[in-house]
Amino acid sequence: MKVQPMIAADPETLVRQRVEAFRRRDFGFIYDSYHPEALFRQQFPDRDGYLRYAKEEIASQMRIERFRILKARQRQERAEVIFHQLLMTASGAQESFEMALLERIGGRWLYLGSQRMDRAMFQGRPEELGFADFETAPERIFF
C-alpha cells in the first residue's frame, strides 16, 4: 500500500527525511517523495519495480556513513539544498557534494533531482562550497 510521505516543513527537512529513510531502507518513502516529473520517475515508473530493484541492488551495496546539509535557498515554490555525504559502497568510499532541487506542490515538498559533484572536484573546505560552484563544475552530473 502506497503511503504519502509526511509533509516536510521545509526543503532541508525533506532531504534529511530521505537520508533517514535510506538508512532505514525505507525505499517506499524515497520513491513517494519524488516529484512526478523527476527523471527518476521516468527511469522507474513502477513503484513496486523500484522497490524490488532497491532491495536487490541498493540495500546491500550502499550505506550513508556521513551526511550534513551545507546550504539551502528557497525561491517561492522551488528550493535548492547543498549537502555533503560519504557513501560506503561495494567498491569503496565515495565522498561527494550534491545540490538537490525540490519543488512544493499542493503544500508538499517533493524531490525533483540532484546535481552531484565528486569531492575531488572541489578542493576547499565543504563550508566554502556555494551554488555557483555547481553551475561552473566541469562535469555536471544530474540524476
CATH of residue 53: 3.10.450.50
Residue 141 included in any domain: no
What's the confidence (pLDDT) of residue 4? 53
Instruction: For residue 8, give the nearest of 81, 84, 114 by alpha carbon.
Output: 81
Residue 1 included in any domain: no
In angstroms, rounded to a whole number, what is the distance separating the alpha carbons of residues 110 and 34?
A: 5
Here the cell at position 106 is: 499542493
Residue 48 included in any domain: yes
In angstroms, rounded to a whole number, what is the distance separating the alpha carbons of residues 88 and 77?
A: 33
Residue 143 included in any domain: no
Domain that holds residue 130: 11-136
Residue 51 included in any domain: yes
Total tally of structural domains belonging to the chain = 1
What are the pLDDT digits (tens) for 7-46?
Answer: 677 999 999 999 999 999 999 999 999 999 999 999 999 9
What's the confidence (pLDDT) of residue 89? 92
Q: Whole-model pTM? A: 0.90
What's the confidence (pLDDT) of residue 121? 92
3-state secondary structure 4-51: CCCCCCCHHHHHHHHHHHHHHCCHHHHHHCECCCCHHHHHCCCHHHHH
Contacts of 129 (CB under 8 A, 6+ apart): 70, 71, 82, 84, 97, 122
Residue 4 included in any domain: no
Residue 30 included in any domain: yes
Residue 27 included in any domain: yes
pLDDT-flagged residues of the chain (< 50) = 1, 3
